[in-house]
Amino acid sequence: MPKNLYLKGINYFSQNNFSQGFDCIREASQLDYLPAIKEMGLCYLHGIGVDSNLDKAINFFKQSKKNPESQFELCKLFYFGYGVKKNRSKAKKLLIKSVKNNYSPALNLMAVCYQIAEKAKKTHKLLSQSFYNNNRFAVYLYSIKKLILIDTKLKFCKNFKWPSFNKLKKRKYHNHQPDIFQINHLLSEIECEYIKFASAPYMRPSMTVDPETGKHVKDTIRTSFSASLDWLSEDPAINLIIKKSCKNLSVKAIQSETMHVLHYSTGQEYKPHYDFFGGVSSKGKFKPEQQRIKTICLYLNDVEEGGQTSFPKLNKIVEAQCGNGVFFDNINSKNNQPYIESLHAGMPVLQGEKWLATLWIHDKNTNRGPNYESI
């Protein structure tokens, strides 16, 4: 009976009948049906059929901690310290358990962590197992020939560690004052595909904030689609990519806003603009802790034609190549005033498509998390 109630609830969810779906799931959970208890955690985490409540979500995940999806969700919460005391060691143990229980998102997450650590064989072992589970991400990587199927013996996973970053990549400078430089091969193709895969479900027409009303409105100078990876969609692998990128800019990941991912189709562009708030008319009124002092742009694919980043006041153009990062200053650190020369544009995509991830860096902690509101 509890299984039938659970399946009935899932069916209601598929029909967008969240209220009745939640009632069925709750009734099944009260009969100690493990998948339903896990699902209650997801309902409270995401606000499905009920108001979101992080404390209740955590409680249900703990009640169903033998479930690999609950292990995975608890891993993320302990990694970031959302609703619980931050504990990266416990997060690692939970991830290992979820991997051992053959949960594909956990396999993918660990695979990307090994890719960040430049351990390709272990990456492909984990992704191969995910492929045999018919996971969409792994199947897609195989279809574009980025995954080599090898044996799936995963004994090494018990020794998994979160990757660290000790080496800085070589910089290629395009300008000084403001500093504009690129780092080639900052991200691997698998890391780039992981970001694209994570953001794709949340894509919508790019928005901006109306300075008079404070409301989000459709951006008139940016014709792309975009998504911000908030605290629910930023997992430890995305966070580690952010850390690696920030490390190479000599800033901390906590200074970054949420990762903002953009997708441009043929003909789409981002016209010349500034990343700092207020525009040039606000000169003399800037406070660095309220400003986007630096920008990181991560190219997630090779653009067939067009899509470069241009700096028209400097007559500089940076090509869009997969895995490369472009870093530049928006604010002069010596006087806290905007760099007018930081005007930049995403040039029109003439052929193919363009994927780009942007990190806007502040002077201080941006407090990303459950109470953070993305721009």
8 Å CB contact between 299 and 322: yes
CATH of domain 2-64: 1.25.40.10
Q: The pTM is what? A: 0.93
353 pLDDT more than 50: yes
272 pLDDT more than 90: yes
pLDDT at residue 48 in the model: 96
Hey, where are the domains in the chain?
A: 2-64, 78-164, 172-361
In CATH terms, the superfamily for domain 172-361 is q2cbj1_9rhob like domain (2.60.120.620)
Give 347's DSSP letter.
P
8 Å CB contact between 57 and 41: yes
What CA–CA distance (Å, rounded) separates 15 from 374? 30
pLDDT at residue 225 in the model: 86
pLDDT in tens, 67-102: 999 999 999 999 999 999 999 999 999 999 999 999
pLDDT at residue 369 in the model: 87
**CA dist 29 → 7, 24, 60, 119 (Å):** 12, 9, 9, 41
